[in-house]
């Protein structure tokens, strides 16, 4: 929910942006945190790409399959979820689930994707622990958010950072803004009421993690309804919150 100490703007941020890159740790992270906003953006004609640090092989509770099989399942689930909100460009970086660190290797991998996609906005997980919602602060989330922030500034824009990227023909790119999700310091809210069913469908795609998904509607309406009310939207509206940082 938005922090009452922040000045909160209700605006989906669709103006003057053509491409957005979402960077998260696991399959399903984007769908819990930002799929409603993604559906809003794609409905406005904005190209959205996903970059997922891991294949989610440590997720789920099925002991009858191998971790490699789980990874394959989760990749397919994420592709299906992405299509539900209008996204077809998904990159999996293949880092080990549960062991992500904000390493130079991860920073370089994210910088490579930034230089390929050349987005006007990067959306990622907050690198700050959220004590109000500890589940949002999985160590992989924090590490991926930190690495993505470093990739936005200074790595992707610095021609002398990761010179191998230049050797690949990938020119530097400056990302003008960074949107952090699942943070206690929100200053931007996106009204996703009209695309809520697409967010719900995206989350239900992750059957290995959410089962039949029957619990999701009540859960999401509680979260998103509270976020909307805190931002001054009318009862019944559903929203997602971000902390927007100018990185130009």
* Tens-place pLDDT, residues 76-104: 999 999 999 999 999 999 999 999 999 99
- Report whether pLDDT(1) > 70: no
The domain 9-246: what is its CATH number?
3.40.50.10320
Provide the pLDDT confidence category of residue 132 given band limits of 50, 70 and 90.
Answer: confident
Q: Taking 60 as the threshold, does the pLDDT of residue 245 lie above it?
A: yes
Phi-psi region for residue 56, left (φ > 0), alpha (ψ -120 to 50) or beta? left
From the CB of residue 52, how many other CB atoms can be counted at a distance below 10 Å?
26
pTM: predicted TM-score of the whole model, two decimal places:
0.95
State the Cα–Cα distance between residues 9 and 2, nearest whole angstrom: 10
Across the range 17-25, mean pLDDT stands at 98
Q: Locate all alpha helices (DSSP H) within 9-98, ordered by sequence.
A: 29-33, 35-43, 67-84
> Cis omega (within 30 of 0) on the bond before 21?
no
CA 245 to chain centre: 15
- Nearest alpha carbon to residue 175 among 40, 49, 6: 49
Q: Which pLDDT value is given to residue 58?
A: 92
- In the prediction, which pLDDT does 4 show? 47
Average pLDDT, the chain: 95
pLDDT at 62: 81
pLDDT of 2 strictly over 80: no
């Amino acid at each position: 929910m938005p922090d009452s100490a922040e000045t909160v703007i209700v605006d989906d941020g669709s103006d003057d942006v053509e491409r957005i890159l979402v960077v998260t740790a696991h399959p399903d992270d984007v769908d819990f945190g930002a799929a409603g906003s993604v559906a809003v953006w794609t409905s406005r004609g904005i190209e959205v790409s996903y970059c997922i640090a891991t294949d989610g092989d440590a997720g789920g509770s099925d002991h009858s399959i191998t971790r490699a099989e789980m990874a394959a399942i989760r990749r397919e689930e994420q592709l299906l979820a992405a299509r539900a909100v209008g996204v077809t460009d998904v990159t999996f970086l293949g880092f080990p689930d549960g062991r992500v660190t904000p390493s130079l290797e991860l920073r370089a991998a994210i910088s490579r994707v930034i230089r390929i996609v050349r987005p006007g906005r990067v959306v990622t997980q907050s690198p700050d622990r959220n004590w109000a919602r500890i589940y949002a602060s999985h160590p992989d989330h924090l590490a991926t958010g930190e690495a993505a922030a470093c990739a936005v500034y200074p790595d992707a824009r610095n021609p002398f950072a990761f010179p191998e990227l230049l050797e690949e023909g990938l020119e530097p790119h400056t990302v003008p803004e960074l949107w952090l999700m699942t943070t206690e310091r929100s200053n931007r809210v996106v009204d996703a009421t009209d695309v809520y069913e697409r967010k719900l469908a995206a989350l239900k795609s992750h059957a290995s993690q959410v089962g039949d998904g029957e619990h999701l509607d009540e859960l999401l309406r509680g979260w998103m309804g509270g976020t909307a009310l805190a931002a001054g939207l009318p009862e019944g509206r559903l929203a997602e919150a971000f902390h927007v940082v100018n990185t130009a």
